[in-house]
Amino acid sequence: MTKTVDLRSDTVTQPTEAMRAAMLAAPLGDDVFAGDPSVNALQEKIAGLLGFEAALFVPTGTQSNLCAILSHCQRGDEYIVGQLAHAYRWEGGGAAVFGSVQPQPLNHQADGTLALADIEAAIKPDDAHFARTRLLALENTLGGKLLPFDYLQQATGLAKSRGLSRHLDGARLFNAAVAQAAQTGAGPMAEARRIAQCFDSVSVCFSKGLGAPVGSALCGSRDFIARAHRIRKMAGGGMRQAGVLAAAASHALDHHIARLAQDHALAKRLADGLAGIEGLQVEAPQTNIVFVDLTGAAREQSAALLKHLADHGIAATGLYRLRFVTHLDVDAAGVDRAVAVIRQFFNPRGSSHA
């Protein structure tokens, strides 16, 4: 049976053999009592790498963002965020539901940024008629797009000048850092830290491109992390012998960051392979995510294309656009197979070229 090429998300990765060995060997304790040495080591490691005083290991990126927003904001406050930001669009409205913190979503520019003028205009006056604007929340990467570093400096500088806290959903922070490092010539870790230091808090996901089975970390000041720790407990995120998971995340930090460049190269290989197919508009990827839109007469064929892919052992998503995500469990042969299957769908009687 032919192995499925799973391009749905970089969350589908399986732990490597080396990662499994690290998990098996992890010293364990009770993290609710702050007694798990593997969790404590991970928290110290990620905080140090990104230049923060402390960090908190949490089960999911959604919970990490929730803990961050509710630690920065109180009931009746609001946070400024993008319409397509995960913390706003894809996390069930958690900050509003659990914390009575109102989102103020803004439209994105073509490059994924929020216009500085829009951020400025969204900050409410100190008046009883309005929610109190307390926080700017950005995401990098956003839909695979790298937010320009000078923009991050300008946007977070604006927020700071207006008294707002600044949070980064860095679920794919290290993808952003690898892409930025390719531009600057610096190392990915240096770029990750440079991005992170624009913010008061940063959430990092280990279970996407880094390939761990589960877990995120929230980084910030000691006082901030103490508040987040209390919220994590209320949200049910206090785990016991969590070191078996923390060990996987720590292994990923040590071994899986530089290799993200391979995922980015495979995404480009996929996009190049789909170029020129009539009925497809391919967005050039900046990191490991390729978005594809069906155009013209092909616009109504999304469901049929997804079925065709599934029937030929290619998994993808099409919730609002076709999305293909490369990761450590996808190789060049798998990408080439996906390209061939898609080309066959659009030209079933022709050659491999549309």
Domains, the chain, with CATH or none: 15-254 (3.40.640.10), 259-346 (3.90.1150.10)
* pLDDT beneath 70, residues of the chain: 1, 319, 349-354
What does the pLDDT read at residue 354? 38
Residue 33 to residue 312: CA distance in whole angstroms: 49
Residue at 101: amino acid letter: V
Q: Could you give the residue ranges of the DSSP H alpha helices within 73-164? A: 86-89, 94-99, 116-122, 149-161
Residue 175 to residue 208: CA distance in whole angstroms: 10
**What are 237's two structure tokens?**
């995120």
**Residue 326: which residues within 8 A CB-CB, separation 6 or more?**
7, 10, 263, 264, 266, 267, 270, 288, 290, 335
For residues 298-319, one letter each, b for 16 or more C-beta atoms within 10 angstroms of the residue's C-beta and e for the rest, the string is beeebeebbebbeebbbbbeee
What does the pLDDT read at residue 350? 58
Residue at 45: amino acid letter: K
CA dihedral 148, 150, 156, 162 (to 10 degrees): -140
What does the pLDDT read at residue 351? 47
* DSSP-derived secondary structure for 113-137: PPPHHHHHHHSPPSSTTSPEEEEEE
In the beta sheet, which residues pair with residue 78? 102, 133
Q: What is the pTM of this model?
A: 0.95
* DSSP-derived secondary structure for 318-348: -SSSEEEE--TT--HHHHHHHHHHHHHHH-T
**What are 170's two structure tokens?**
């860095």
Distances in Å between the alpha carbon of 169 and those of 67, 138, 178, 220, 260? 12, 6, 16, 13, 18
Q: Any idea what the Cα angle at residue 250 is, between residues 246 and 254, rounded to 5°? A: 170
What is the average pLDDT score of the chain?
Answer: 96
**What are 197's two structure tokens?**
């230091």
In eight-state DSSP terms, residue 238 is -
In the beta sheet, which residues pair with residue 57? 217
167-190 residue pLDDT tens: 999 999 999 999 999 999 999 999
